[in-house]
């Protein structure tokens, strides 16, 4: 995770009211593997640190999902925009509704494995090759 991503997430958290932040943490508990004991008393910066630590590459998607579930649509749109400025690597195009694209090339040596992102809610156009 980059410092820029952490800053974007912290800025988003800073725009939550106290009541919204509590609701966000309850939703986060249900959407992630962060133990409630760690999350319950965490402030905004600590919550972001826990999200980055426990949710890794899904952190943008998780935050967007929760904000939309809470009907904080303007904040979600701002987060989508800010994540897009980072190259869109922390959120899936199907999650954000953006028109961009993702191009993934992964190669393994014979007998090796590739850990690739899961794809869901995608529309494929053009050639797709799996070997």
What are the pLDDT digits (tens) for 55-97?
777 888 999 999 999 999 999 999 999 988 887 444 444 443 4
Q: CB–CB of 114/106 below 8 Å?
A: yes
Closest listed residue to residue 6, CA positions, set 32, 41, 45: 45
For the chain, domains (ranges, CATH) are 3-94 (1.10.533.10)
Q: CB–CB of 47/12 below 8 Å?
A: no
Predicted confidence at residue 76, as pLDDT, reads 94
The model's pLDDT over 89-111, given as tens digits with 9 standing for 90+, comes to 444 444 434 444 445 555 566 76
Burial degree of 105 (CB within 10 A; 0-12, 13-18, 19+)? exposed
């Amino acid at each position: 995770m980059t410092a820029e991503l952490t800053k974007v997430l912290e800025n988003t958290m800073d725009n939550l009211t106290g009541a919204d932040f509590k609701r966000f943490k309850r939703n986060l508990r249900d959407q992630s593997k962060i133990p409630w004991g760690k999350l319950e008393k965490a402030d905004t910066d600590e919550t972001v640190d826990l999200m980055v630590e426990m949710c890794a590459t899904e952190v943008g998607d998780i935050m967007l999902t929760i904000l939309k579930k809470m009907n904080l649509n303007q904040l979600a749109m701002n987060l989508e925009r800010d994540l897009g400025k980072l190259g869109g690597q922390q959120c899936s195009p199907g999650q954000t509704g953006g028109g961009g694209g993702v191009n993934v090339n992964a190669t393994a040596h014979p007998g090796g494995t590739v850990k690739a992102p899961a794809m869901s809610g995608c529309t494929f156009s053009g050639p797709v090759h799996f070997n």
